[in-house]
Amino acid sequence: MADLAKHSARLVSELVGSGDLTPEWRAAFEKVARHWFIPDTVWVQDGGPLVPVDRGDDEAAWMELCYRNDFVVTQVDDGVPALPGRVGHEITSSASRPDVVAQMLAALHVEPGMSVLEIGTGTGWNAALLAERLGPDRVTSVEVDPKVADYARHALREAGYKVNVVPGDGALGHPPDAPFDRVIATAAAARVPYAWAEQTRPGGQVLTPWATDFHNGALVSFAVSGDGSMRGRIVGNVSFMRLRAQRGKRASLDDDMRGTAGARQAFTRLHPYQVLGEYDASLAIGLKVPRCKPVVTHHDGGAYTVWLIDPWSGSWAAVDHEPGAERFPVRQSGDRGLWDEVEAAFHWWDALDRPAADRWGLTVRPEGQHIWLDAEEHRIRR
Ligand SMILES: C[S@@+](CC[C@H](N)C(=O)[O-])C[C@H]1O[C@@H](n2cnc3c(N)ncnc32)[C@H](O)[C@@H]1O
């Protein structure tokens, strides 16, 4: 017990110190123990593939994982772990990083008594934090995986929180409990569902991680208007798993991609770090280049290869980086020239004067979403 108090106090003080945990959320973080919501079996990565860690085998190690400022993997492969193989396990549910949870709750601007719809119940920890602050019957949380939903419902009940946990597709919201003052998604949308706008009171807010195939890291805060639309701005840098129906295909490296046979070869002077490692550039490239997933493989001596893969068409590109090099060999295969597309998108962003992430905006209407720069009239076309 003393150990638990120590773990929890250390996490809270770390989050206060980093500025992520705001004064209005502090009491909730102190009260709602994270380990109440973490299943006995979690998955950890220690250099190799994800492996399960069981509470029964090493309670201290498990508790340490519960109170680290890191996400905890609680489900892989939709609950049916694939046999060990080349592609590895896919993370399909987790307890989000405490600092990200704190940042998102602060960005949600809630007051006690407001009603909130959460998408992606996961462990139930975030729902419990919301319920602690907002009160009983104020939080509805939708979870696509029925087993995960059952686990969270049980954990929330045990902890004494009255949250309506609904199994189902959160992209549809939950009309019976609407309208909500706030919607918070803890899974990333590539196409932000209009249902979230529809089920939020005018003047309310929708907060969601937003992702492209190329880039997975923006938090968007939407203001819901009474005119059947919502407009949002990028307010943070977060990375979440996708909404299940929007996951698309996994990018994997096939053996026949390793060689040069059949691939078109060239050189580029654009450093691969500039397109992938620089947040603002990579975000903008994702707006322009659809169905292009990056994978990086590391080699000895600091060398690495950036792979660009379109798992739908089978096109791929590879750019090899050697430390100190000024030009980089490019191989491209398939109908698309994926590196050419990425390089063109980089130059498009450069010619716009390299806008930072917070200059992009999104509007969501019943017919879909569109992206703009600075003002809604400056719409971005792919
Ligand atoms: C990062 S976890 C959520 C973390 C959670 N809020 C917590 O406090 O532990 C993302 C969750 O979203 C769920 N999810 C994915 N797609 C969904 C969808 N369409 N509707 C509802 N939940 C979804 C996943 O099954 C997963 O449990």
Among 73, 90, 93, name the best residue to mutate to test ligand 1's pocket (greatest count of ligand atoms within 8 A of Cβ).
Answer: 93
pLDDT at res. 12: 97
Report residues whose beta carbon is within 6 angstroms of any ligand 1 atom.
92-96, 119-120, 122-123, 125-126, 142-145, 148, 169-171, 186-187, 240-241, 243-245
Say if domain 255-351 classifies as CATH 3.30.160: yes
Closest by alpha carbon to 274, among 287, 285, 289? 285
> Do the Cβ atoms of 80 and 145 come closer than 8 Å?
no
* Domain range 2-244, CATH class: alpha beta
Mean pLDDT by 10 residues, the chain (382 residues): 78 97 97 97 87 93 95 94 70 96 98 97 98 98 98 98 98 98 98 98 98 93 94 96 93 74 93 96 96 94 95 94 96 96 98 97 96 94 75
pLDDT at res. 48: 77
Query: Does this model's pTM top 0.75?
Result: yes
Is 229 considered catalytic here?
no
Amino acid occupying residue 343 = E
Residue limits of CATH 3.40.50.150 in the chain: 2-244
* Distance from C-alpha of 222 to C-alpha of 198, rounded to nearest angstrom: 12
What string of H, E and C letters represents the secondary structure of 221-254?
Answer: EEEECCCCCEEEEEEECCCCCECHHHCCCCCCCC
Residue limits of CATH 3.30.160 in the chain: 255-351
